[in-house]
Amino acid sequence: MKASKIIVPIIMIGLLGLAWLSYFMGVSKNQKEYKECLAKAEESVDKGLYEQAVEYYKKALEFNSRESIYEDMKVAYDLLYAEEPIAYVRNIYLEDMKLASNAFPENEMFWERQIELYLDADNYKGAYETAKSALNKDVTSDKLDKMYNKLLYMTKLEYKVYEDYNTALNGYISLYNGNTWSIVSDAGEVIRDEYKYIGLINDDGKGLHINDIDTRILDAGEITRSRFDMAVEEAGYYNETVDLLPVKVDGVWKYINAEGKALKGEYQIAGSFYGEEAVAYTGEDWVIVDTEGKTEKLKGFEDVKLDLYGCHNQNGIVIAKNNGKYHLYNAEFEQIGDFAADDMDICVNSSYIAYKKGDKWGFVDVEGNIVCEPKFANAKSFANKYAAVCNADGMWGFINSSFEVIIDYEYADAHYFNAAERCLVSTNGEGYQFLKYYFEN
């Protein structure tokens, strides 16, 4: 009985010892195989057998998933892909870099290489999604940041070319293709087409249209709300509240109502009605026009900027010239601060306004605070987060609110970005196309 009590523990200790011995022998064997895999991988790289090297690195990872092995495998892949830049190699390389970034997400090299491989395949969506994933995991590097910004602001041109356009950035864009006019939404959906002329469309979708029969005011449903005979050359924004819109007839501007009846007075420039008044230029003076056609001279004002609606009141701001300089004014034409400029653009979305001093353009806010000193050859005000700027060669690009160039100087002319992140640009100075981002910003 006593002997059995002694024998059992001895047997148990022996079995445990054998287990540990077996374990250490296995570990030793695995360690040996692991080192052999690494040695064979390095030897394969030296011999130019890059695919074989990758194979050995993958086997080594089965024994020990180390970051340095993925990095060495990346080197072998780089050599292989440089020698054979084909889709098959790119695809297997990409898959292994995905595994590497999943295992070691903080290593920016694995993310960078994935993006490069996607770009080589013209797979911009894959590159963008990878860059976003890296950003979401707080992975950053100068190279990765540049890649992300390049993808974020990557653009493409729509194929249709237009000769002329009217837009107030209110969701309706009137476009002329050289034969007929049409209206599209911000996103590019055709709302109506094949008219001889379409003027500026108001926020409710109403505007002046000319067909083969007569001149009409149509609503958003393309229902005729009025019709009259008048050879209108251009038309501004229809203010339905006061039933007036500016039209150009026989080379002069006047104000008409929906029945085609005109207020007294003719102008070289006629702004749209804001409330019950509009601003117009007689050829000698800038005047305020009321709904009955009565005018009041704006004394001392040499110019008044009209926005895309043709309106002088731009979100409570008036931009006008007095004593040779442009200033900011409130709706009562009272000057705001002491800001002065040689020229100014319009105010859009109550955002930064482009201004000129000397021969350069910068940006100012609506309170007259300079936010960017003049440094551009030309500029347009910010609209929906971006602004068009021009370089010394007369080419236009775009900047963000940090005043960084995010779309290069590639265009002969550029308009304002709308809410759907589309913008009319010209590549040759003759026709206009829509520029849009590949991805939503």
Q: Per residue in 63-115, pLDDT tens?
A: 999 999 999 999 999 999 999 999 999 999 999 999 999 999 999 999 999 99
Q: Of 123, 153, 183, which residue constitutes the final position of a domain?
A: 153
Domain co-membership, 131 together with 213: no
Domain co-membership, 121 together with 45: yes
- Band (pLDDT 50/70/90 cuts) for residue 290 is very high
Domain co-membership, 38 together with 147: yes
Tens-digit pLDDT profile for residues 298-322? 999 999 999 999 999 998 999 999 9
What does the pLDDT read at residue 27?
Answer: 44
Report the distance separating Cα 184 and Cα 418, nearest Å.
12
Report the distance separating Cα 17 and Cα 31, nearest Å.
21
Domain co-membership, 30 together with 146: yes
Q: Of 249, 275, 304, which residue constitutes the final position of a domain?
A: 304
Q: How many domains does the chain have?
A: 2
What does the pLDDT read at residue 23?
Answer: 46
Sheet containing 207-210: which strands, arranged edge to edge?
197-198, 207-210, 215-218, 224-228
What does the pLDDT read at residue 16?
Answer: 57
Q: What is the mean pLDDT of residues 12-22?
A: 53
What does the pLDDT read at residue 20?
Answer: 45
Q: How far is CA 133 from CA 10, 27, 125, in A?
A: 58, 37, 12
Domain co-membership, 136 together with 210: no
Domain co-membership, 122 together with 215: no
What does the pLDDT read at residue 205?
Answer: 95
Q: Of 278, 304, 330, which residue constitutes the final position of a domain?
A: 304
Domain co-membership, 149 together with 200: no
Tokens of 329: 């004014």
Domain assignment of residue 285, yes or no: yes
Tokens of 337: 């601060």
Tens-digit pLDDT profile for residues 122-158? 999 999 999 999 999 999 999 999 999 999 999 999 9
Q: How far is CA 407 from CA 123, 150, 266, 388, in A?
A: 20, 9, 42, 9
- Band (pLDDT 50/70/90 cuts) for residue 440 is confident
Q: Which domain holds residue 56?
A: 25-153
Domain co-membership, 205 together with 134: no
Domain assignment of residue 361, yes or no: no
Query: In the chain, what percentage of residues exceed pLDDT 90?
Result: 90
Q: What CATH number should be reported for the domain holding residue 110?
A: 1.25.40.10
Report the distance separating Cα 61 and Cα 154, nearest Å.
37
Report the distance separating Cα 125 and Cα 141, nearest Å.
21
Domain assignment of residue 276, yes or no: yes
Domain co-membership, 228 together with 141: no
Residue type, 203: D
User: 3-state SS string over the chain?
Assistant: CHHHHHHHHHHHHHHHHHHHHHHHHHHHHHHHHHHHHHHHHHHHHHHCCHHHHHHHHHHHHHHCCCHHHHHHHHHHHHHHHHHCCCHHHHHHHHHHHHHHHHHCCCCHHHHHHHHHHHHHCCCHHHHHHHHHHHHHCCCCCHHHHHHHHHHHCCEEECCCCECEEEECCCCEEEEECCCCEEEEECCCCEEEEEECEECCCCCCCCEEEECCCCEEEECCCCCEEEEECCCCCEECCCECCCCEEEEEECCEEEEECCCCCECCCCECEECCCECCEEEEECCCCEEEEECCCCEEECCCEEEECCCCCCCCCECCEEEEEECCEEEEECCCCCECCCCCECEECCCCCCCCEEEEECCEEEEECCCCCEEEEEEECEECCCECCEEEEECCCCCEEEECCCCCEEEEEEECEECCCCCCCEEEEECCCCCEEEEEECCCC
- Band (pLDDT 50/70/90 cuts) for residue 289 is very high
Tokens of 275: 């409330």
Res 26 pLDDT > 50: no
Q: Are 419 and 173 in contact (CB under 8 A)?
A: no
Domain co-membership, 112 together with 226: no
Res 3 pLDDT > 50: yes
Res 5 pLDDT > 70: no
Q: Are 289 and 265 in contact (CB under 8 A)?
A: yes
Domain assignment of residue 135, yes or no: yes
Phi, psi of 423 (to 5 degrees): -145, 140
Domain assignment of residue 18, yes or no: no
Domain co-membership, 137 together with 42: yes
Tens-digit pLDDT profile for residues 342-351? 999 999 999 9
What value does the mean pLDDT of the chain take? 93
Domain co-membership, 35 together with 127: yes
- Band (pLDDT 50/70/90 cuts) for residue 7 is low
Domain assignment of residue 298, yes or no: yes
What does the pLDDT read at residue 283?
Answer: 96
Domain assignment of residue 35, yes or no: yes
What does the pLDDT read at residue 11?
Answer: 57
Query: In the chain, what percentage of residues exceed pLDDT 70?
Result: 93
Tens-digit pLDDT profile for residues 190-226? 999 999 999 999 999 999 999 999 999 999 999 999 9
What does the pLDDT read at residue 30?
Answer: 78
Report the distance separating Cα 161 and Cα 102, nearest Å.
45
| Side-chain-facing half-sphere of 393: CA atoms under 13 Å | 8
Domain assignment of residue 418, yes or no: no
